[in-house]
Amino acid sequence: MHKQDDHNLKCYLLLCFVVLSAISSGSLSAQETNSGASGQIRSASNEMLMGATVTAIHEPTRNIFNTQSRSDGYFHFFNLKPGGPYTITVSYTGYETIKKENLFFNLNQSVNDLINFTLNEKNVIMPEVTVTNLPGNKTGIESSINNQMIQSLPSISRNLQDYIRLVPQAKVNADGMISLAGQNSRFNAFFIDGANNNDILGLSQSGTNGGQTGSPPISMEAIEEIKVLLAPYDVRYSNFTGGSINAITRSGTNDLKASAWYYFRNEKLAGRSPLPFEKPGSPGVFERPQLSHFLNHTTGARVGGPIVKNKLFYFILAEKQSDLRPQPFNIAEYKGPANLQQLNALADLLRNKYNYEPGSFLENRDALNANRFVAKIDWNPSAKNKFTLSYRYNAAERAAPQIPGGSTLINFANNGSALPTKTHSASFEWKNFFFKI
C-alpha cells in the first residue's frame, strides 16, 4: 500500500470515529428529506435487462446520480433531491440509448412508483418510447403540497395552516390549530429539512415553534414542498403519534434567482368594527364604524444561485413582519360605577402624579413583530457524496392585553403581556453512495 493511500485510509477511519462518537454521546433524530425513483428496463422482446447503466440528472444543479439494473430489470434511486426536472438516461450494450426528460419526484415519493423503459436493439428504427408512471403502494395516508401550489394558493396570514387546509383530513381553525384526522394538534409533529420544529412546551394551538405569538414558524417563501403524513407505517418516520408535517426549504441552482415581496393590510381592507357603537349626535342609533388606522405589513427578499457551478450552491432569505390588530371596546356596554369622564380622570392621574402611562381603555391593540432568516448551502463534490447544511432563525414578540374589557371590567392597554420567542434550528445531511458504478 502506498503511503498516500495509507494516509487517506487513516483520515477516513478517523472521520468515521468522530461521527460515531457524536452519535453515541447524544440523541440525534431527523426525518426523511429526500425522494426516490424506481423503474424496470426490458427489451422489445420483453426480456429483462441486467446491468443496464441508469443515470439521473437534476437539471437545475446538474447533480448526477448513477445506478444499474438488477437481474430482474429493476433499478432504484434513493436520496434524490425532491422536485426536478430530472433527466433519466438508460444505456445498455447492443441497445439504443434512450432518455426521459422533465421528470419530477415529490418529497418522500415511494420507490414503488415505477418508470418503465423499453430498449430496442441497435440498427433497428426505434419507435416512440413509452414511459409509464404506475401508482405504487403507499405506507399510509399522505398529501403533497408542492411549490407551484404554494405560490398559486391565496393566503391572508401567510402561515402554515393556510396551506395545510388542502389536506382532506385536516381541520384548521382561526387560532391556527391544525387537527389531522381528528387528532389534537399537540399530537402532530412539524419538521423542517428533517429537524423537529415543534412547540416544545406544548402551549400553542398550532403546535409549531413560535405558535403562541401567532408568528409563522418559517417564511412560506422559503418552502419548496410540504408533505403531510397520517400514521405512516414506515420506519423512516418517527417521533410523533398523530400527523407529520414535513417541509423542505428551497435550494440554489445554476441560475441566479432573486425575489422581493411586500404584503400589507390596513383598515380599508379589514371591513368595519365587529362591535356596534352609538352614532354621534343620534342617540339610540347604532352603527359599525370603520376601524381606526392600523397597518400590517411583511417585507422580505430571497436570493439563490451558484458559488461554484454544478458543485456548490447557496440560498438566503430574510423576512420582517409587523402586525397591529385593533380591538375596540364599546364603553356603552360597561355597567360599572365609573363613567367615561371618571375613567379619563383616573388615567390622567396615573400619568401626571405617578408618571405611568396606562394606555387607552377604549382600544387595546394586539401587536406582533417578527424576524425570520434562512440560509442553506448545497455541495455536490462528486456523484457519491452530497452535503446539505441549512440554518433557520425565527424571533417573534407579541404584545396583547391579558383580558378584554367587559360589562364589569375596564382593561387599560398597558395591562397586558409581552410574549417573546426565539428559535434557532439547523440541519446537516451527508448522503454517501457506497455502491460501485
Buried b (16+ CB within 10 A) or exposed e, 41-74: bbbeeeeebeebbbbbbbebbebebbbebbeebe
Is the confidence at residue 22, as pLDDT, over 50?
Answer: no
Same domain, 199 and 288: no
Same domain, 376 and 276: yes
> How many domains would you assign to the chain?
3
Which residues, at least 6 apart from 372, have a Cβ–Cβ distance to it below 8 Å?
Answer: 216, 218, 219, 300, 317, 318, 319, 320, 321, 392, 393, 394, 395
In a domain, 226, yes or no: yes
Among 212, 220, 216, smallest CA distance to 420 is for 212
Judged by DSSP in three states, 277 sits in: strand
Instruction: State the cell numbers at 34.
Output: 429526500
Q: What is the DSSP letter of 363?
A: B
Same domain, 79 and 204: no
Same domain, 264 and 376: yes
How far from each other are the two terminal CA atoms of the chain, in whole angstroms? 23
Same domain, 293 and 389: yes
Angle at 396 between CA 394 and CA 401, to 5 degrees: 160
Among 313, 327, 284, 290, smallest CA distance to 380 is for 313
Same domain, 179 and 51: no
pLDDT tens-digit map of 158-204:
888 888 888 888 888 777 788 888 887 778 888 888 888 887 777 77
pLDDT tens-digit map of 66-113:
888 888 888 888 888 888 889 999 988 888 888 888 888 887 666 556
| Residue 49, phi then psi, degrees to nearest 5 | -100, 120
Residue after which a domain boundary falls, among 69, 86, 119: 119
In a domain, 46, yes or no: yes
Same domain, 364 and 409: yes
Residue 356: pLDDT band with limits 50, 70, 90: confident
Residue after which a domain boundary falls, among 249, 276, 297: 249
| Residue 287, phi then psi, degrees to nearest 5 | -145, 165
Percent of the chain whose predicted confidence (pLDDT) is above 70: 83
Domain that holds residue 349: 257-432
Is the confidence at residue 46, as pLDDT, over 80?
Answer: yes
Would you mind telling me the total number of residues written for the chain in this entry?
Answer: 437
302 or 12, which is more confident? 302
- Domain CATH code at residue 113: 2.60.40.10
Instruction: Put residue 369 in one of left, alpha, beta given phi > 0 → left and psi -120 to 50 → alpha.
Output: beta
Among 210, 305, 321, 176, smallest CA distance to 261 is for 321
Report the run of H or E that residue 301 belongs to, with start and end: strand 295-308
In a domain, 124, yes or no: no
Global pTM value: 0.70
Residue that is written with C-alpha cell 403507499 in the block:
138
Which residues, at least 6 apart from 434, have a Cβ–Cβ distance to it below 8 Å?
Answer: 384
Same domain, 244 and 262: no
**Cα(391)–Cα(192) distance, rounded to whole angstroms?**
10
Helices (H), 322-368: 340-354
For position 270, what pLDDT does the model report? 77
Same domain, 320 and 224: no
